[in-house]
Amino acid sequence: KMLQAIGKGAFSVGYALYKTQLGKSMHDQTCAACANLPPHSSSIMVPLVAGYHVSILPILHDNYAYLIVDETSRTCLAVDPADAKAVARAIESENLTLSGILTTHTHWDHAGGNEELKRMFPNIHVYGSTTDSIPALTDAVADGEMFWFPAHTVVEDPKLIVEVWEAPCHTKGHVLFVINQKPPQTPEGGSEAPRPTPVAVFTGDTLFSGGTGKFFEGSAAEMAKNLERMATLPNDCKVFCGHEYTLNNY
C-alpha cells in the first residue's frame, strides 16, 4: 500500500507539471522531433455529406488532428491541432481558410497548437470548455450548445451543425463535438421540427478504437455515462478519435 501511495503521489506531481509551461516546452520539443519522422498513419479525406469532408492528419507519435472542410467556401474547422505547423501546412495544401478550432480538452497533445495558430490566423474562433484551461480560448462552450458550420456570414445555407457534449473523466472539462447534418425543412402544417442527424463525432481522448481514455480526472462511472450517451448515436455516425491506439488495444 505504501508503494502504491508513493506511485500515486509521483504520478500526481508529474501530471501537475505536465499541465504547466514545462509540459508545453516538452510538447514543443516533441513537435520538432516528429517533423523529421514519417507520419504514423495515412492522411486521407473522408466524405461526410455532400460538399463536406474530413481530412485526417496524423501528427506527433500517435495523435490525430482533423480538418472539417466545406468544399464550396473552402472554409475549415481544425479539431485538436496540437502541431500548429503541420496543421497549417495541411490547410495551405488544400487551399483552405481556417475559421475556428474545436478543442476537446486541455492536454498539450491536443491543445498545444492553439496559440500559434491563433497568431497565424488572428480572426479564428477557439472553442472549448472553461472547466479546462484551453489555450487561446475565445468561445466557451457547454453541453447542448450548437453552432453552424460554416457561419451564415460565410455561406447562405450551411449544412452542418456543431453540437457540444460534455464528457468529463479524462479531464474534468473534456468535451465531444458531434457534427450534425441540417434537417430537412419541416413540412407545412407539421407539428414538430425534425432533429438534425449526427454524421460524425470527434471523441478526443474519451473513445478510441478498442478502448477509452485514461481516467485522469474522473471516475469509471463518469466514463460509463459518456459511453452510454455515445451509444445513442446512429450506427453510421463516423467516429474520429484523438489517438491511433488500435494495435495496442487489440
Instruction: Give the tens place of pLDDT for each residue, 150-172.
Output: 999 999 999 999 999 999 999 99
Map 173-217 to HEC letters.
CCEEEEEEECCCCCCCCCCCCCCCEEEEEEEECCEECCEECCCCC
DSSP β-ladder status, 52-59 and 45-47: antiparallel
105 SS3 class: coil
What is the average pLDDT value for the chain, to the nearest integer?
94
- Give the model confidence (pLDDT) of 73-123 as tens digits: 999 999 999 999 999 999 999 999 999 999 999 999 999 999 999 999 999
Find residue 47's DSSP bridge partners: 53
The string of pLDDT tens digits covering residues 214-249 is: 999 999 999 999 999 999 999 999 999 999 999 888
**Residue 1 scores a pLDDT above 50:** no
pLDDT over 80 (residue 43): yes
Q: What percent of the chain has pLDDT over 90?
A: 87
The reported pLDDT for the residue numbered 250 is 77
The answer, yes or no, to whether residue 138 has pLDDT greater than 80, is yes
Catalytic entry in 70, 80, 83, 205? 205
**Beta partners for residue 59, in sequence order:** 63
pLDDT at residue number 29:
97
Q: Is the pTM of this model over 0.85?
A: yes
Output the pLDDT for position 10: 86
Of 27, 53, 105, 174, catalytic: 105
Stretch 118-133: mean pLDDT: 97
- Our answer to whether residue 110 is catalytic in this structure is yes
Q: Crossing angle, helix 2-18 and helix 21-34, to 10 degrees?
A: 70
Active-site pick, 110, 139, 143, 157: 110
| Half-sphere exposure at residue 177, Cβ-oriented, CA atoms within 13 angstroms | 28
Active site residue 62: no
Under 8 Å CB-to-CB from 121, ≥6 apart: which residues? 98
- Residue 188: is its pLDDT beyond 80? no
Residue 109 bears catalytic tag: yes
Q: How confident is the model at residue 7 (pLDDT cuts 50, 70, 90)?
A: low
> What integer pLDDT is reported at residue 249 of this predicted model?
87
Angle between helices 21-34 and 84-93 (to 10 degrees): 50
Q: Is 105 part of the annotated catalytic residue set?
A: yes
pLDDT at 210: 93
Question: Catalytic: which of 27, 107, 132, 174?
Answer: 107
Q: What percent of the chain has pLDDT over 70?
A: 94
Are 191 and 207 in contact by the 8 Å Cβ rule? The answer is: no
Is 107 annotated in the active site?
A: yes
> What pLDDT, on a 0 to 100 scale, did the predictor assign at position 190?
59
Q: Which segments within the chain are labelled E, that is strand?
A: 45-47, 52-59, 63-70, 75-79, 97-102, 125-128, 139-140, 146-149, 160-166, 175-181, 197-204, 207-208, 211-212, 238-241
Contact of 140 with 129, CB cutoff 8 Å: yes
- Decide: helix, strand or coil at residue 72: coil
Q: Look up residue 99 and give its three cell numbers.
A: 475559421
Q: Which of 70, 80, 83, 109 is catalytic?
A: 109
Q: What number is the average pLDDT over the span 22-51?
A: 96
| pLDDT for 2 beyond 60 | no
